[in-house]
Chains A and B, each alone.
Chain A
Amino acid sequence: DQQVKQNSPSLSVQEGRISILNCDYTNSMFDYFLWYKKYPAEGPTFLISISSIKDKNEDGRFTVFLNKSAKHLSLHIVPSQPGDSAVYFCAASAMTSYDKVIFGPGTSLSVIP
């Protein structure tokens, strides 16, 4: 049973518009959430994170929102650029489990010029 879910396997967005990638989790012990980006034939790279004590974290064009009561987070990319086309993984960890991180299945984002 997946603890971190990304229900949209793929998403297409026009360049310049907003991309919204969603993630749901089931384990209430998770208290830290991360987004990674992965290009083909490369390892994932860290993008942005959020602690459970916050509901929003922003870094340039990337903003992550956390709704703890709904066990839901989302990544917003504004404006989207063709170079953002990649697979995005949502990940979560719990303070009680060392630094073990659980990943979702990923969403493939295509930004169309």
Chain B
Amino acid sequence: DVKVTQSSRYLVKRTGEKVFLECVQDMDHENMFWYRQDPGLGLRLIYFSYDVKMKEKGDIPEGYSVSREKKERFSLILESASTNQTSMYLCASSFGTGEGHTEAFFGQGTRLTVV
């Protein structure tokens, strides 16, 4: 059974703090993704990685960075948290066929509140 685990379900951080969101998958997937979910906007892609140390910007990368030092772990970093980054953050992973034809498996989400 595929498991994608996000380190925290809920986080409260102060404006200006550096925030780390961690994600681990146990299925040896090549691809990993970070999305944020906001009402009326669906899931918007922040960054994705198709291999260790490889990353690509998604649709809304501003204010975020990522790190993938090991295949199973993908970290999302908020360099200086702001209130408009209050959101639900979802990590996902998938097999890497390079053909865009695979389903993604999601973690349970991290509800981040920036105050």
Contacts and interface: CB of A to CB of B under 8 A. Distances in A.
Interface of A: 4, 6, 9, 31-32, 34, 36, 41-46, 49, 51, 89, 91, 93-106
Interface residues of B, number: 32
> For the complex, would chain A's binding face be called helix, strand, loop or mixed by DSSP majority?
mixed
A34 B103 contact: yes
Given A89-B42, A103-B43, A105-B42, A43 B109 contact: yes
Interface of B: 4, 31, 33, 35, 40-45, 48, 50, 56, 58-59, 90, 92, 94, 96-109
7 contacts: A9-B40, A31-B100, A32-B100, A36-B106, A89-B43, A99-B48, A101-B104
A68 B44 CA distance: 24
